[in-house]
Amino acid sequence: MTNLTTEQANPESATIDQMNSLEIVNLINREDAKVAAAVRIALPEIAEAVDVIAEAIAGGGRLLYIGAGTSGRLGILDAVECVPTFSAPPDIVQGLIAGGGPAVTRSIEGAEDQPELARQNLEQRGLTAADVVCGIAASGRTPYVIGGLQYARSLGAKTIAIACNMDSPIGALADISIGVDVGPEVIAGSTRMKAGTAQKMILNMLSSGAMIRLGKVYGNLMVDVKVSNQKLAERACQLIMRLTGADAERARELLAGANNEVKAAVVMTRLGVEYDEARLLLEGASGKLRAVISDVAE
């Protein structure tokens, strides 16, 4: 542990316990500003991972994040958010955490030290060679994550590792190793801070990048938004108005007639077809709206 960057004492924060509140938050902010630059170095590997994930999902596979503690919770957060943002079925992107459901809200001591638990968890999810397993560990050496990656490799599933220490054990096990050196934490060893921020940034890129490649975004618009509450219904109507020129009342009618599907509503309006035909056109284009309406004047 003493050799891990994430466990080192940060000289910049050596006297943080003597600072006032403004000095503390200024220091944390300065350290946080280093994270994006560290992540930038790993962009080629992140892009490679996006391609692997998109290809797997397009072929009927899934993305499964595995991690312990903060890393596991971040994976679950990213997986859950794919449902309302991209109308992704809940099983397409999944998050597994050492200790299971209770570990999401409280520490389950010792769970991360049991590599066999990851194998059991992945077996329960029916992992196959068509899936992608992404191991997340700030230290890069969490036994639970190591066990999960080893099991995934034994099945022939693609593997990705995200670590905040370079040349990590999990990186050595993965097809794609994403190593990010964010430097020592403001509070030594508190990897929920800079390391957690780096992990969140990378996970955003992985899931969002893959969903963009899969056609769940048109331009920079969230056209596959799942209408599950009033706010999202309003967002969907705004998207329809923007892409079809309809007024608010007509947009609501179109959304209702398209089973709350923005892309179907746009196709129906732009091509003058009924819902069933709009769905068939989208399915024939693998869900990519641009491919369906590309020949229609903007």
Catalytic residues: 81, 112
| Euclidean distance between CA atoms 2 and 9, whole angstroms | 10
Strand order in the sheet with 93-97: 93-97, 63-67, 132-137, 158-163, 176-179
| CA–centroid distance for 195 within its chain | 16
| Euclidean distance between CA atoms 170 and 149, whole angstroms | 7
Q: Which has the closest alpha carbon to 160: 86, 54, 69, 50?
A: 50
| Euclidean distance between CA atoms 44 and 213, whole angstroms | 16
Residue type, 182: V
Other C-beta atoms lying within 10 Å of the C-beta of residue 106: 8
3-state secondary structure of 95: strand
The answer to whether 210 and 52 have CB atoms below 8 angstroms apart is no
The answer to whether 257 and 234 have CB atoms below 8 angstroms apart is no
Interacting residues of 245 by C-beta distance below 8 A, sequence separation 6+:
none
Phi, psi (deg, nearest 5) at residue 94:
-125, 155
Q: How many C-alpha atoms does 51 have within 13 Å on its Cβ side?
A: 8
The answer to whether 72 and 41 have CB atoms below 8 angstroms apart is no
